[in-house]
Amino acid sequence: MQAVTVAEERRGPDLDEVTEEVVKALTKARVDIDIESLKPLRAIGAGGQGGVWLALDQSSGCRLAVKQIRKGRLALLPQVSMERALTERECLLEVGDHPFITTCFGCFQNASSLFFALELAPAGDLFGALDHHPDGLPEPRARFYCACIALALRHVHAHGWVYRDIKLENVLIRADGYVQLCDFGLAKKATEDRTYTTCGTDEYAPPEALSGEGRSSAADWWALGVLLHEMLTSRPPFEGGSAESVLLAIIEYAGGGKIAANQLHMQTAAQVSLDCANFLMGLLQAKEADRIGAGPTGFLQIQNHPWFEDLDWEATLRRQAAAPWVPPREADGAVDMGLDFEVEDVMLDRPYEPHLFPDTFKAFGPTRVTPWPGDK
């Protein structure tokens, strides 16, 4: 199977105009929060560098997700890694007013931590969603999520950023059934055409990065292909018992050109529609120039693809289309992950000597005076 070649002309709405209108509306509607009135309610998430709280802004009555990162933990990392929180702040504040990107309402800090006050997506992430679908999501649901993520990436790329960290855990499910990208800690402003930093999850690494050619925005479209495969089958297309074997599988795939559908864990082509398989293989093209979304027509290649023929791009961007699945309403506004930050290693305080980093976090945001759980 090969990627469909689409015509140059657009079929459908001018997404630039729609995006501009939607972004303006979201910016105007953004809530002003009071960092002193934020009340942490309970833990709802944990990642490699921090934890996430369900919090109530008592001044506005809004429930938010507050991401906390220990400064002492960052101080143990190399300088470039330590400063990723600042990069995430910069990127989120630039691109965050988009329907499929987590809105950042503000950033603040205290003596021991950095905090992002974020839009709450109460139904967890795609990794958790696949726990309920061990054989993969229904194709219409995977297509809907794929379209939302593609629109988010389009916006990120238009602002000159490469996301570089697509994975199931970084796609959150909103209360209305739509999804949005979160965690922009690995995003990079592509002042040049390519970036050469080794980063991200091994299973999502594009062939060009493994061959030493670096990454461009095309790498995000490859990663979307890996994510789509996981949504459809609950398995990544490239697996192995170690990081080395996973990367070798990607290299071997890239060297072999075409790949049979059953090598991507699809037992028969009937498991998904032909248009779906065609689109998936278009994203997983080893050569960047042949990859859907990265060719000369850019996003039009996605917008015009037969797999999305029945999708209303404008209604989706405006969040007016009916989502294929809407999560049940949680009593307090978020899925209970059973987390306890008093024992979660990622949230335990680390020694931190602020005089060694006097200016590192200065520009991150204002200082909160009111104590936060876990403060000494």
Average pLDDT over residues 285-302: 93
Under DSSP, the state recorded for 327 is: P
In angstroms, what CA-CA distances link 185 with 17, 80, 104, 115, 200?
Answer: 28, 11, 13, 13, 10
Is the full-model pTM beyond 0.85? Answer: yes
> Which residue did the predictor score with more confidence, 295 or 346?
295
DSSP per-residue codes, 314-333? HHHHTT-SPPS--PPPPSSS
Report the candidate in 11, 6, 19 with the shortest Cα–Cα distance to residue 316.
Answer: 19
pLDDT of residue 197: 62
Q: List Cα–Cα distances, 82 to 108, 135, 259, 284, 339, in angstroms.
A: 16, 38, 39, 32, 25
Q: Count CA atoms closer than 13 A to 187's CA, side-chain side.
A: 27
Q: Which of 75-89, 174-188, 230-244 is the least confident region?
A: 75-89
Q: Residue range 303-314: average pLDDT? A: 96
Q: What is the DSSP letter of 362?
A: T
Q: Which two tokens stand for residue 6?
A: 């689409």
120: its two tokens: 């709450």
DSSP line for 126-165 = HHHHHHT-TT---HHHHHHHHHHHHHHHHHHHHTTEE---
Please give the domain boundaries of the chain with CATH numbers for all domains: 31-122+330-356 (3.30.200.20), 124-317 (1.10.510.10)
Instruction: Tell me: pLDDT of 222 over 80.
Output: yes
Known catalytic residues? 165
Q: Report whether pLDDT(3) > 50.
A: no
d(CA 231, CA 235): 8
pLDDT at 267 over 60: no
Strands (E), 1-50: 38-46
For the record, the structure tokens of 291 come out as 């990859």
At residue 119, the 3 state secondary structure works out as: strand
Between 272 and 12, the more confident residue is 272
Q: What is the C-alpha to C-alpha distance for residues 333 and 319, in angstroms, rounded to an integer?
A: 20
Query: Residue 331's pLDDT is what?
Result: 63
User: Contact, 181 vs 149, CB < 8 A?
Assistant: yes
Say how many C-beta atoms besides its own lie within 10 A of residue 87's C-beta.
17
How far from chain centre, in Å, is Cα 207? 20
Alpha helices, DSSP H only, in 30-117?
A: 71-75, 79-82, 84-95
208 or 141: which leads in pLDDT: 141
